[in-house]
Amino acid sequence: MAFPYMEAVVGFMMLKYIFETYLDLRQHAALKLPTSLPKTLEGVISQTYLEKCRAYSIDKSNFHFVKQFVTIIMDSATLLFGVLPWIWKKSGVVLESTGVDAENEIYHTLTFLAGAMIWSQITDLPFYLYSTFVIEERYGINKQTVWLFIKDMIKGMMLAIIIGPPVVAAIILIVQKGGPYLAIYLWGFMFVLSLVTMTIYPVLIAPLYNKLTPLPEGELRARIETLASSLNFPLKKLFVVDESTRSTCSNAYLYGFYKNKRIVLYDNLIQKCKNVEEVVAVVAHELGHWKLNHTVYLFVAFQVLIILLFGGYALVKNSKDLFMSFGFDSQPTLIGLMLYMQTIIPVLPLIIFGHNFVRRAFEFQADAFAKKLGYSKPLGDSLVKQEGNLSGLNADPWYSAYHYSHPTLVERLAALDEPHNKAD
Ligand code: ZN
């Protein structure tokens, strides 16, 4: 008897939905509890502001329930009613009508992906619009205009049209010619692709969305340069990015390979921090991630995961049962990959939890690093000013263990306040 892959996938999707909704309900209940300011925050933020943050989180939570419910219904229906094989057939018909040979798998796949992209745009768009232009707008958090949103969407589609076809064609060719080492070849391709992306992203893609300008000479620049050189960080360029056009999020990040590093500060960060010291403290935290090789560890772990994933794919890629179960009578390469990705749903929660568990440990370590350099106080002050951090005041422990990539504000402030470093 053929293994009922599709029914199993729908079943696991439901289980994952039930599990995550249970966590959402726990978090929702935690949000409804009255919050009193923890001692570390007394006098730092007002009760009124705290209440506003809580109201925002509850609004978002309500919205999330609706979104997840509609999504699970749509996703199950897409599989149960064979929407994907239908789009595959239709794209073949469209291709034939334009005179292109639908037997050509690459063209057929690209047409299918265009159809699937339109389908997912239609289903995701209403949620995105409501979340950004209704909920965030209500609390004055949204900085994005409708025009900017449309421009971003067009740019995203253009990028997909330029980058998608060569990548898809390469994957199909590798799978067709891969032989016994298919998983290694696919991983090698993805590895090179990610290096290329990391190289061209800041130069070609990020500037399409944001303006990066060099941080002007002055105290801030001098302080960051001194800090970087004291840690032997090969700082080549120091930028400010105009993130304030999209959100109120304030942050900083590092990028670049080996001896060619750059630091990028969000303009929001500079505006919100009341003194230079606080901005430098955030940079010190980021430099901690670099000094402690966090990015390298995460990158390596990700590569191992990719090899395992492709290894599993190589095992099932020719399984007729897999395709038939989802309603396909042919076995196109990319469809096989997509269906396989559905079958790994049961392990996803473990990966999410493991990833966040490690990320939170890294955050504590980077904070401890900044603390050792003497930035405990200004780092704490800047953390308080980062919106979103405040929602963690009502965090349910189960929910945050599963979803949070950062420890909560209270946990981080407590660790910064401790007289002795655990890391010492
Ligand atoms: Zn961090």
pLDDT tens, residue by residue, 102-159:
788 999 999 999 988 888 888 889 999 999 899 988 888 787 888 989 999 999 989 9
Provide the residue type at 34 as one letter: P
Q: Which residues contact 424 (CB under 8 A, 6 or more apart)?
A: 372
pLDDT value at residue 418: 81
**What is d(CA 102, CA 116) in angstroms, rounded to the nearest whole number?**
17
Structure tokens belonging to residue 399: 């929910």
Q: Ligand 1 centre from 47 Cα, in Å?
A: 27
* Under 8 Å between Cβ of 366 and 286: yes
Spell out which residues have Cβ within 5 A of ligand 1, the ion: 363, 366
pLDDT value at residue 389: 58
Q: Ligand 1 centre from 395 Cα, in Å?
A: 19
Q: Which residues contact 39 (CB under 8 A, 6 or more apart)?
A: none
**What is d(CA 403, CA 13) in angstroms, rounded to the nearest whole number?**
18
Calculated CA dihedral for residues 160, 162, 164, 168, nearest 10 degrees: 170
Catalytic residue IDs: 286, 367
The residues facing 263 across adjacent strands are 238, 254
Q: Ligand 1 centre from 366 Cα, in Å?
A: 6
Residues of the chain with pLDDT under 50: 422-424
Most distant CA pair in the chain: distance in Å? 74
| φ/ψ of residue 214, rounded to 5 | -60, 140
Cα-Cα-Cα-Cα dihedral sign, residues 334, 335, 340, 343: positive
pLDDT value at residue 174: 93
Q: Ligand 1 centre from 126 Cα, in Å?
A: 32
Neighbours of 146 (CB within 10 A): 10
pLDDT value at residue 424: 46
Structure tokens belonging to residue 160: 């997909």
Q: Ligand 1 centre from 234 Cα, in Å?
A: 19
pLDDT value at residue 409: 86
**What is d(CA 392, CA 410) in angstroms, rounded to the nearest whole number?**
8
Cα angle, residue 404 at apex, residues 146 and 20 outer, rounded to 5°: 85
Q: Ligand 1 centre from 285 Cα, in Å?
A: 6
